[in-house]
Chain A
Amino acid sequence: MNKELRVDFIACDGAGVCAELLPELLSRDEWGYPVVTEAAVPGRLRGHARKAVALCPKLALHLDL
């Protein structure tokens, strides 16, 4: 079953690393904060999503079941 992307906006600082690594599912608003354009993570992007979660400077990106 698909994992879902979730942003913790209290922790998020708008660095944008996630959107760089996962442009298929994340974009940025005019102030630099991520917009989850597609929450469900397809299998082929699972590795990229995990990397985005690991590299977020504020650990604000989460992969939920």
Chain B
Amino acid sequence: MTLWFATRALGLVTLTLFSTVMVLGLLTAGRRAPWRQPAFVITGLHRSLALLSVVFLGLHIATSVLDDFVTIRWVDAVVPFGAAYRPFWLGLGATALDLILALVITSLLRTRLGLRTWRAVHWLAYACWPIAVVHGAGIGTDTRLTLAFDAICCVAVAAAAAVRLSAVARAGTYRQPITGGTR
């Protein structure tokens, strides 16, 4: 039974970490916010916590596979919806993992890939995090604790998203591209 509890606990920790990473990621956008000094702390923390989250995610997956209370194979962690145990909810987790792998690998290779490619993949984070939240909410047996965590994380991410959207709205189009001429 221990591994079962460990999996659940690690899942909640991972979710909390990823939510923090989301909040930090949202706060790195937009430049004219003097309260965000020093900027390198937020961006550096975002990276470090993201990597830490992956470690905890790895442990969460390991305990879920090693636990014989239910049958979950290693392959079910990356290939969604083929598991014996709760295939749909587990599959969401596998989808989230696939997206996270894409995010982390492209971020590690960011300087080599160039900004446009990296950013295109990084937008997947906005899909990845909700999928992870729903995975956690749907797969747990004791839902009250999970939902409490989910609620706190959602509030935090929503607040950060609101900050980002308002910064974007205020900045507006202060750098206008030039157009003109006939062809």
Within 8 Å by CB, do A and B touch in the complex? Answer: yes
Tally of A-B residue pairs with Cβ under 8 A? 30
- Whole-angstrom CA separation of A14 from B110 in the bound complex: 19
Among A27-65, those with CB < 8 Å from B are: 32, 53-55, 57-59
Is the CB of B28 closer than 8 A to any CB of chain A?
A: yes
Q: Which residue of B lies closest to A15 (CB)?
A: B31
Are B31 and A59 in touch, CB under 8 angstroms? no
Which of B43, B110, B111, B115 is within 8 Å of A17, CB to CB? B43
Given contacts A32-B31, A57-B28, contact A20 B111 (CB under 8 A): no
**Chain A residues in 8 Å Cβ range of B115:** 11, 58-59
Evaluate contact between B110 and A59: CB separation under 8 angstroms.
yes
With beta carbons under 8 angstroms apart, the residue of B39, B47, B114 that contacts A16 is B39
Instruction: Give the distance in Å from the alpha carbon of A14 to the alpha carbon of B37 in the complex.
Output: 13
With both beta carbons as reference points, the residue of chain A lying nearest to B38 in the complex is identified as A20
* Minimum CB distance partner of A14 in chain B: B31
B44 is an interface residue with CB less than 8 A from chain A: yes
Quick one: which of A14, A32, A55, A59 contacts B43, CB cutoff 8 A? A55
Residues in B with CB closer than 8 Å to A7 are none
How far apart sit A13 and B110, CA to CA, in the bound complex (Å)?
18
List A residues at the B interface (Cβ < 8 Å). Answer: 11, 13-17, 20-21, 32, 53-55, 57-59
What are 26 A-to-B residue pairs whose CB atoms are below 8 Å? A11-B115, A13-B31, A14-B31, A15-B31, A15-B39, A16-B31, A16-B39, A17-B39, A17-B40, A17-B43, A20-B37, A20-B38, A20-B39, A20-B40, A21-B40, A32-B31, A53-B111, A55-B40, A55-B43, A55-B44, A55-B47, A57-B43, A58-B115, A59-B110, A59-B111, A59-B115
